[in-house]
């Protein structure tokens, strides 16, 4: 019999709807049930693409004996961390305080009926191993402790709640004059953490750090700093050559389990790839390296092929597993590759992908990564570059076609506002930089879907699947979609996109801002009351919502002339400035906002004949100018805000403003490029 998850829309929750565990969703009724029965809550948080979530499910949640123990002693709640990032943030923080270890998924929390945690872990095996207790025995011990040690647990809970409250940034008693010190400190810290051999930061497991790489590219350009430029570009190069990147189908996996980017954790997340699309556009503009252009094209192709719904919105993720094995869809046996290719193709592919060395994956298999430069192999095989490139392309096409016949990883097809914002921004920038109308159309369709489906009665909702849109949207939904609308406006102006940007910004100020102290809460003022209300500026796998909100509000103020937006961004920066000074490397997106506050962006408005303005836009966009906002107008737009409301000229004309200083109109492209 299905449990209480059967009516949910989340693919992750539905994966557990037929478990013998009496799972409940998180809601007021379930919490009331725990109070009435005086039972502790077992809270399990995960997501559908998570490998170790699947492992724990197969071992324990599908086991009738384990389920019987869970049902007898606990009220069991399943949460999709992608639908409820508010709960995930809170209980990851609580897990760290309880265990002094970083968390992850699955997250396993034991709560009092009021939601306060008293014990936590991540994955637990059914039988004791990996230095971890067996899950059934652990359940019995925790149930006993809850019955017999209430006073001790209540005291611990009180201390934990106080510790969670102390994590919130506090407004300084003194007037703070923000300045650039944290920006330089963040760059220095990232330089110290840089892996000079493999790229990236730190050791295994190795994550992607998009906010940090964005800051480094910007600062390298601004300061003309070759070492900082090398750190960013070398990291992006090594990521693209490694197994982290899908060499055949495009797109990046979530992280590498080793320091060399060889073997990933195989799930592909929409948010990573949206962020990386924009980064690789910037890397190409900085360097002209064709590798970066190829990554953009392949990844955008993957998005169009596998991640966009017929209605326009982008799906959430692809699973790490297929046929209950992690990575099975992606890895190869050497003979399998040889049998698919001609002798000439295999002679090139074998050293290119490391098939001439030992297997790098389980069961004597290979996961493809570039191990030698194509030019070096071409010289060894006495091929010119054109011949080698053609052989590589034909071999990749054959391998990709063969892989398409395999059983595919599952796809989480819910549509999240925040992650759609990240991908819309990435696709819009890629369309602008590379002049691709298909990518522009994709981004516009996705934003149109969000506006039509997730924006209801003047309020943004968080998620959509199977015709159902629900859950209060969070800070990240508003901030990331605001940023996406601004990116789209720069690629192709549409009045409805500017209106939506203003609506999102107004909602940010009205529903999320802490007007007394500055900054934005993660949940809205009318959100469900939980044990903590986060207001964080830290970057994680995605940039901080406060950081992207501050960046976007500063840019929107420049486009509209409305200082309410820039004032809110300044209040946010003033709140976080003391903690940024202490640990700048953890606040890269806020450091980028700080830089934009101290050095206001440049606004370029182009107006004239469509073909000519398109040529001017392409010439400007080909340059890496991270502090430039560009808007192209036909001249017949109505209701434009003052900064965009320019007189129509007979010839193509550029209006260029830096901060509050505007230059005379420019009517020659070479003069504009020189000025920029």
Mean pLDDT by 10 residues, the chain (676 residues): 93 97 97 97 96 95 98 98 97 95 95 96 94 95 95 93 91 86 98 97 95 98 97 98 98 97 96 98 98 98 98 97 94 98 98 96 96 97 96 98 97 98 98 98 98 97 96 98 98 98 98 96 97 96 98 98 97 96 96 96 94 95 97 92 89 92 95 96
Residue 279 to residue 563: CA distance in whole angstroms: 29
Is residue 173 included in any domain, yes or no? no
CATH number for the domain harbouring residue 58: 3.40.30.10
**Strand, coil or helix: 530:** coil
Residues 54 and 125 in one domain: yes
CA proximity to 388, closest of 357, 334, 355, 349: 349
Is residue 5 included in any domain, yes or no? no
Q: What is the pLDDT of residue 162?
A: 94
C-alpha separations of 146 from 104, 545, 610 in Å: 25, 37, 71
Is residue 4 included in any domain, yes or no? no
Residues 78 and 206 in one domain: no
Q: What is the pLDDT of residue 499?
A: 98
Q: What is the pLDDT of residue 660?
A: 84
Domain stops at, among 579, 598, 617: 598
Is residue 561 included in any domain, yes or no? yes
Residues 305 and 347 in one domain: no
Residue 92 to residue 585: CA distance in whole angstroms: 21
Q: Which residues contact 575 (CB under 8 A, 6 or more apart)?
A: 169, 171, 514, 517, 518, 519
Helices 417-434 and 290-302: crossing angle in degrees, nearest 10, is: 130
Residues 350 and 245 in one domain: no
Residues 195 and 94 in one domain: no
**Strand, coil or helix: 464:** strand
Residues 594 and 613 in one domain: no
CATH number for the domain harbouring residue 620: 3.40.30
Expressed as residue numbers, the domain containing 385 is 330-405
Total of domains in the chain: 4
Residues 142 and 30 in one domain: yes
Q: What is the pLDDT of residue 170?
A: 87
Token representation of residue 164: 């969670």
Residues 51 and 139 in one domain: yes
Is residue 3 included in any domain, yes or no? no
Residues 421 and 287 in one domain: yes
Is residue 589 included in any domain, yes or no? yes
Residues 290 and 338 in one domain: no
CATH number for the domain harbouring residue 393: 1.10.10
Domain stops at, among 544, 577, 598: 598
Is residue 2 included in any domain, yes or no? no
Residue 638 to residue 260: CA distance in whole angstroms: 53
Domain stops at, among 133, 166, 199: 166
Number of Cβ within a 10 Å radius of residue 10: 24
Residues 511 and 656 in one domain: no
Q: Which long-range contacts (CB under 8 A, 24 or more apart) does 637-643 make?
A: 637/493, 637/495, 638/495, 639/495, 641/498, 641/559, 641/560, 641/561, 641/562, 642/561, 643/558, 643/559, 643/560, 643/561, 643/603, 643/605
CA proximity to 450, closest of 266, 355, 607, 311: 311
Residues 308 and 440 in one domain: yes
CATH number for the domain harbouring residue 273: 1.50.10.10
Q: What angle do CA 576, 579, 581 make, to 5 degrees?
A: 105
Is residue 512 included in any domain, yes or no? yes
């Amino acid at each position: 019999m299905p449990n209480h998850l059967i009516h949910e829309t989340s693919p992750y929750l539905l994966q557990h709807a037929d478990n013998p565990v009496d799972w409940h969703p998180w809601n007021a009724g379930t919490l009331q049930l725990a109070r009435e029965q005086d039972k502790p809550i077992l809270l399990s948080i995960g997501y559908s693409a998570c490998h170790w979530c699947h492992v724990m499910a197969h071992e324990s949640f599908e086991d009738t004996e384990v389920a019987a123990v869970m049902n007898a002693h606990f009220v069991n709640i399943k949460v999709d961390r992608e639908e409820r990032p508010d709960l995930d943030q809170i209980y990851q923080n609580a897990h760290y305080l309880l265990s002094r270890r970083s968390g992850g998924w699955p997250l396993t929390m034991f709560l009092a009926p009021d939601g306060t945690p008293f014990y936590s872990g991540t994955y637990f095996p059914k039988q004791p191993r990996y230095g971890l207790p067996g899950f059934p025995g652990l359940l019995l011990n925790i149930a006993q402790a809850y019955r017999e040690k209430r006073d001790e647990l209540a005291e611990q809970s009180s201390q934990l709640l106080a510790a969670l409250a102390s994590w919130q940034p506090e407004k300084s008693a003194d007037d703070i004059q923000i300045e650039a010190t944290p920006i330089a400190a963040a760059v220095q810290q990232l330089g110290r953490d840089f892996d000079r051999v493999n790229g990236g930061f730190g050791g295994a497991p190795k994550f992607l750090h998009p906010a940090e790489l964005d800051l480094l590219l910007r600062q390298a350009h601004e300061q003309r700093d070759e070492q900082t430029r090398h750190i960013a570009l070398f990291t992006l190069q090594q990521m693209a050559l490694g197994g982290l990147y899908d060499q055949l189908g495009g797109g990046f996996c979530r992280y590498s389990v080793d320091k060399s980017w060889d073997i990933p954790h195989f799930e592909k997340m929409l948010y990573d790839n949206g962020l990386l699309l924009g980064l690789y556009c910037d890397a190409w503009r900085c360097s002209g390296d064709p590798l970066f252009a190829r990554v953009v094209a392949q990844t955008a192709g993957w998005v169009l092929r596998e991640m966009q719904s017929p209605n326009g919105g982008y799906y959430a993720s692809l699973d790490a597993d297929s046929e209950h094995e992690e990575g099975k869809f992606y890895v190869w046996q050497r003979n399998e590759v040889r049998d698919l290719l001609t002798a000439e193709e295999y002679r090139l592919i074998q050293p290119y992908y490391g098939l001439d060395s030992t297997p790098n994956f389980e069961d004597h298999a290979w996961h493809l990564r570039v191990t030698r430069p194509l030019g070096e192999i071409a010289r060894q095989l006495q091929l010119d570059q054109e011949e080698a490139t053609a052989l590589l392309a034909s071999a990749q096409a054959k391998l990709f076609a063969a892989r398409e016949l395999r059983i595919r990883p599952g796809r989480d097809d819910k549509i999240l506002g925040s992650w759609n914002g990240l991908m819309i921004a990435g696709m819009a920038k890629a369309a602008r930089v590379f002049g691709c109308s298909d990518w522009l159309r994709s981004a516009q369709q996705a934003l149109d879907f969000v506006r039509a489906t997730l924006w209801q009665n003047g309020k943004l909702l968080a998620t959509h699947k199977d015709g159902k849109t629900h859950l209060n949207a969070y800070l990240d939904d508003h901030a990331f979609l605001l940023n996406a609308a601004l990116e789209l406006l720069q690629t192709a102006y549409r009045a409805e996109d500017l209106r939506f940007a203003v609506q999102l910004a107004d909602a940010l100020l009205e529903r999320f801002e802490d007007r007394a102290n500055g900054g934005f809460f993660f949940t809205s003022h009318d959100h469900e009351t939980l044990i903590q209300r986060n207001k964080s500026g830290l970057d994680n796998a995605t940039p901080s919502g406060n950081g992207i909100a501050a960046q976007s509000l500063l840019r929107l103020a420049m486009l509209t002339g409305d200082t309410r937006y820039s004032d809110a961004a300044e209040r946010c920066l003033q709140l976080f400035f003391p903690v940024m000074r202490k640990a700048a490397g953890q606040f890269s997106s806020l450091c980028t906002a700080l830089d934009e506050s101290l050095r206001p962006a440049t606004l370029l408005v182009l107006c004239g004949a469509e073909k000519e303005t398109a040529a001017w836009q392409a010439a400007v966009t080909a340059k890496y100018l991270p502090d430039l906002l560009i808007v192209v107008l036909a001249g017949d737009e109505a209701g434009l805000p003052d900064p965009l409301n320019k007189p129509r000229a007979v010839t193509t004309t550029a209006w260029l403003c830096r901060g509050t200083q505007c230059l005379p109109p420019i009517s020659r492209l070479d003069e504009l490029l020189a000025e920029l």
